[in-house]
Amino acid sequence: MSVVVTGVAGFIGFHVAKRLLSEGYQVIGIDNFSQYYDVKLKRRRVEKLRESVISPRDLIMYEIDISDANKVEEVFVREKPQYVFNFAAQAGVRYSITNPGEYIQTNLVGFSNILESSKSIGVEHLVYASSSSVYGGNKKLPFSEEDSVDHPLSLYAATKRSNELLAHAYSNIHGLKTTGLRFFTVYGPWGRPDMALFLFAKAILEKKPVELFNKGNMVRDFTYIDDLVEAIFRIVLKPPISDSLNQALRYWPNESWCSFRILNIGSAREVPLLEYLETLETCLGAKAEKVFLPMQDGDVEKTKADLTSLDELIEYKPNTSIADGVSRFVSWYKEYYNVL
């Protein structure tokens, strides 16, 4: 089967593509290799994917921007994928405050192009990345897909919620089967350099201060990448179906009468940021110099996923402990950056 993975050179896109290739799928990779973070890391991820294939046709790469509607359409018409994973996005809550245009162009214009091309060729299931940031100012934990998500705290969160609404419109009008996945703080090998674990490890090894916002009083539902990928792989094989006769579904925030679904993917564990940092210190065998700072605009103090819907659909049980996950990241980090 042919599968499009946008953002294939990114952290999650790379790991999903790797799993798909191992299962015998043909991966059509799309990425614009943006300079938001180290392009060499992105190129190396793609090299790793190429090293894992048997035939050059197993992995076909297109270096294009999804905000270019014509180029996206050309790829979809030429390759005719059965499934589409959209992980291409401008990420980062803090970056969205100073660079709003990047988010409008990629996360809104780009995603609308993916929807249109998926509809045009009759894609069997479109799975796309949303984010736990859509829960915004919600105080009730755990975050449930049935909670209100009408008060985003950042432009990034607003674009991700907009993706969900756009997907619903295409599911309703065109019958496109869509599943939006609200990711909760994903970490692991080949991770993003702008994420906490990467930043902390780099600072500790370079003997520089670790910046802790909200004076370190943060709690996160950290999700290990392998657990996330397993869930995504199972979900794509279970597209949502329309249920136009079931009026009870008409106003559920996470489901609908049309072929539309939203799911949380996390670990359902509340981990204090300082505990996360302590685990990293243990794995590195070094202590961090801590700098405590105020809360940043657009950030939230706590996250935790309600996984009831996900478990009912695929019997999801994340099984990677924080200690194991951080240890695997550290092993990769030391090897990749040749840290003795």
Active site residues: 156
> In the structure encoding, which two tokens stand for residue 94, read together?
């803090």
Do 281 and 288 meet the contact criterion of CB atoms below 8 Å apart? yes
Place of tokens 């939006």: 180
CA–chain centroid gap for 62, Å, is: 20
Do 172 and 256 meet the contact criterion of CB atoms below 8 Å apart? yes
Cα distance between residue 156 and residue 162, in whole Å = 10
Do 199 and 281 meet the contact criterion of CB atoms below 8 Å apart? no
> In the structure encoding, which two tokens stand for residue 268, read together?
């359902």
Cα distance between residue 114 and residue 276, in whole Å = 36
Quick check: helix, strand or coil at residue 138?
Answer: coil
Residue 182 — φ and ψ, nearest 5°? -90, 100
Cα distance between residue 222 and residue 277, in whole Å = 12
Place of tokens 């996945």: 181
Tallying the residues shown for the chain, one arrives at 340
State the Rg of the chain over Cα: 19
Looking at residue 304, the DSSP 8-state letter turns out to be -
Number of Cβ atoms within 10 Å of the Cβ of 259: 22
Residue 194 — φ and ψ, nearest 5°? -90, 0
Cα distance between residue 115 and residue 88, in whole Å = 13
Candidates 119, 108, 122; CA nearest to 162 is: 108
Do 232 and 16 meet the contact criterion of CB atoms below 8 Å apart? yes
β 223-224/186-187 pair status: parallel
